[in-house]
Chains A and B, each alone.
Chain A
Amino acid sequence: MAQVKAAPKTYDVVIVGSGAGGGVAAHVLSLAGAKICMLEAGEWFDCSKDSKMFEWPYQVAHRGAGTKYKPWGAFDATLFGGWQVPGEPYTTAPGSDFMWWRARMLGGRTNHYGRISLRMGPYDFKPYSRDGKGFDWPITYDDLAPYYDKAEELIGIFGSQEGLENTPDGKFQPAPAPRGYERLIKSACDRLRIPCIPSRLAILTRPLNGRPACHYCAQCGRSCSANANFNSPGVHIKPALTTGNLEVRTGAMVREVLVGPDGNATGVSYVDKKTRTEVEVRGKIVVLAASCCETARLMLNSKSSLFPNGIANSTGLVGKYVMDTVGSAVSGFLPILQDLPPQNEDGVGGMHLYMPWWLYKEQAANKMPFARGYHIEIGGGRGMPGEGVLGGYPTQFLGGGYGVEMKQKLRKLYGCEVHFSGRGEMIPNEDSYCEIDPHVVDQWGIPVLRFHFKWSQDEILQAKHMQETFQQIIEAMGGTVTKKDRPENQWGIAKGGEIIHEVGATKMGADPKTSVLNQYCQAWDVKNLFITDAAPFVSNADKNPTLSITALGWRTSDYIADQVKKLNVKV
């Protein structure tokens, strides 16, 4: 093709993607002295300038409500992307429901995510050994623990020392005090013997490395113009840029990993979105961190005579064992909270308390109908009023009405809502995977993914347990359940991908025959190809993946730096 322009320079490392996984690789490797080219499919994003912090719903069109291409509303930090990216489709196989969130922007999904930062525990690395389902990781908790320490110290996580089973404590900043409704929930949970402890979020409660502490406006999802929460542009990429070793190219949609005659990666080829031209960038090492499924797509599309099924895919396992998180939610209304003296209940952008999984003993004694656990996330109180606030209350609680009397009752009922969301572990299965759709391409001419997805009974029964538990907690507070789900609806279990915790697709392992990557997330088939996003994950514990991505990515990056020194990887 005449339009292909070869870049003359060869970088030490080419990194595809700038989210949690790409960010940590750029940070560690640039500080180690590597010359890096990072490629991001979206545009530049600077939270200090582009955040919608402090705007009011009434200041923007339609009170900032969600739209097809801005599904989480006008203020959401996702610059471009969502469940649909215009011109970049994906498909689902018949009988499969799967939703794929893509954030095309510098920092990817780290800009808007929930900042929940939970370490995987010792059990979570050896799930197969414990219950015979899924797979064991090739590493243990002790292998990753030092990297959790480093990640937490760089990112800044608040939490508390609890010493609970399979819920490792970390290097925490002090946790913020709970809100009123959270203390109430804790009182109910104490009675029900459900542990309710300070949450663990990547939000600063103390200044760190020049970043200020949180100012408690609760709008982390908009991205923070003060950079008081974790996002890879502010925490990883900014310091990496100051080393002078990192070059970031935005609008670069990577099409293919290039391979030399010796079977090693030589770089990547990407579409420069602005000029619609094909550009090659050469690197001695290629790190993929495009997000779990996008990474698998890129590998499957990187076909050559040496790798007819896609790069590093001699096992045929690339794209297999995609997992999401089990999600199910119940809402309640608590009359005990009506007509209280008003107070600011914003706090940080997320819950101040949460409930880690607590039924390990019952599970070990075979008393539970499902394998693996979930944690509970909570919300509610006097949150920022959006377009729907109190709208349903006249019918729900007052028997109808209108006029001054209704108005005066309504304001007294503001702040009484509580929401419970379960976030549970999905076990990898043969029916959940992604592959290249043979018929569909995106606007850049790149074949797209087709998703297959199925929950097993373990996950569905877990959702049932969530529904029953949340209802129990609400009733223990004298509340009314206002939204719950039923068995015919599979207990409200979220669609695959809907919780936006996709992991797996290029599993790591101890055996090259049954895994794509070794324990350092290095491709068994291609020694200079590494993956630092969530694609290497072997299981998907109920510990939201971002913190583990940054810890595992750090470990992989340390290994890369070390191997380069020892010249075990071609440089």
Chain B
Amino acid sequence: MADNNQPETPGVSRRDIFQILGAVPAVAAVGAHSHMHTGQEEPAVAKGPYKRQTFDDHQWEMVKVLCDLIIPADERSVSASQAGVPEFMDDWIAFRTEQDGNMDLRAEIFGGLMWLDHESNRLFQKNFVGATADQQKQLLDRIAYPGKAAKDDSPWVAFFTQFRSLTVGGFFSSKQGVADLPYLGNRAVAEWKGCDPKVWAIIEERMKNGYKGVLEAKPWSA
């Protein structure tokens, strides 16, 4: 995706932004990056190693495995755990527990992890992390498709939906996830030109003829 259609809205260098902002402090302009970051250090997920607030050692291993089953690495980007999603999730659950004044989210996640181990032990005599890829898949397939799942599995479907939502959101809002999408903003743009005409042409073509991608877009009626 290196040559994506955005020549109309080029990123502006750090030097350029100071010119745009009308002040050119020579010192500041020295550390020029092609991508503006306000001079904040990064990654700012944490200074020093992350300190867990929510998961114990066993849960931590499970969370990492489960995150990567949901978002594995592919040709475009790293896996969820490589993007810091387990750390995000550990922090997020602690944060919500404090903000919401209850442990509902924590209980749902802990309970679901517990079930994965229980069920894995019952069926395969192994914890979830130690189960084979096929065995893990067998369990996840039961709870990953709400419309097809057995009624008795509904609490674990709810758990997985929640866990997947945190993994997906955590991943695509991480530095690596933002680059994967890609989100191309949060930078200074010298001249704003609006929608790229080439993109608009595609939209217009789809209005006429529809488009079948991940989902179907029907043509607009005349």
Contact = CB atoms under 8 A, between A and B. Distances in A.
Given A183-B195, A338-B211, A58 B44 contact: yes
A454 interface: no
Contacts of A392: 165
Contact of A212 (B20, B196, B216): B20
A407 B72 contact: yes
A56 B166 CA distance: 18
B68 to A, nearest CB: 10
A478 B218 contact: yes
A336 B175 contact: no
A478 B1 CA distance: 27
Residues of B in contact with A, size category: 35 or more
A317 interface: no
A485 to B, nearest CB: 22
Contact of B172 (A182, A219, A385): A385
A62 B91 CA distance: 7
A414 B184 CA distance: 12
Contacts of A397: 214-215
Interface string A161-191: 0000000000000001111101110010000
Interface string B43-71: 11100000000000000000000000111
Contacts of A401: 144-145
B216 to A, nearest CB: 6
Interface string B34-45: 001110101111
A384 B172 contact: no
A413 B196 contact: no
Interface string B161-196: 100111011101111011011111111111011111
B127 interface: no
Contacts of B195: 177-180, 182-183, 343, 345
A226 B22 CA distance: 8
Given A335-B217, A391-B165, A403-B72, A384 B185 contact: yes
A530 to B, nearest CB: 36
Contacts of B181: 342, 382, 385, 411, 414-415
Contacts of A60: 44
A65 B166 CA distance: 13
A192 to B, nearest CB: 12
Contacts of A57: 173
Contacts of A414: 172, 181, 183
A201 interface: no
Contacts of A412: 213-214
Contacts of A338: 211, 213-215, 217
A389 interface: yes
B207 A343 contact: no
A180 B189 contact: no
B4 A68 contact: no
Contacts of A68: 99
Contacts of A215: 12, 17, 20-21, 188-190
A217 B213 contact: no
A530 B183 CA distance: 49
B200 A400 contact: no
Contact of A341 (B186, B202, B214): B202
B110 interface: no
A403 B133 CA distance: 12
- Central interface residue in A65, A392, A410, by most chain B CB within 10 Å: A410
Nearest to B185: A346
Nearest to A226: B21
Interface in A328-357: 334-348, 352
Contact of B95 (A58, A62, A226, A340): A62
B168 A176 contact: no
Contacts of A59: 37, 40, 42-45
A343 B184 contact: yes
Contacts of B185: 217-218, 344-346, 382-384
A370 B42 CA distance: 53
Nearest to B42: A59
A284 B11 CA distance: 53
Interface string B1-21: 100111011001000010011
A335 B9 contact: no
Contacts of A305: none
A394 B69 CA distance: 14
B43 A413 contact: no
Nearest to A392: B165
A392 B168 CA distance: 8
A210 B22 CA distance: 8
B207 A58 contact: no
A275 interface: no
A476 B217 CA distance: 12
Contacts of B200: 180, 183
Given A337-B203, A388-B169, A58 B213 contact: no
B91 A403 contact: no
B215 A341 contact: no
Contacts of B140: 402
A409 B172 CA distance: 13
Contacts of B152: none
A55 B91 contact: no
B174 A54 contact: no
Given A225-B21, A226-B21, A177 B172 contact: no
Contact of A55 (B40, B43, B217): B40
A395 interface: yes
B70 A402 contact: yes
Interface of A: 52-63, 65, 67-68, 176-180, 182-184, 187, 205, 210, 212, 214-219, 225-226, 334-348, 352, 382-395, 397-404, 406-415, 476-478
14 contacts: A55-B40, A62-B95, A215-B20, A217-B189, A335-B215, A341-B4, A343-B196, A383-B183, A385-B173, A385-B178, A387-B170, A388-B165, A400-B161, A411-B181
Interface of B: 1, 4-6, 8-9, 12, 17, 20-22, 36-38, 40, 42-45, 69-72, 74, 76, 84, 88, 91-92, 95, 99, 140, 144-148, 161, 164-166, 168-170, 172-175, 177-178, 180-190, 192-196, 198-200, 202-203, 206-207, 211, 213-218, 220
Cβ-closest 3 pairs across A and B: A177-B194, A391-B169, A346-B185
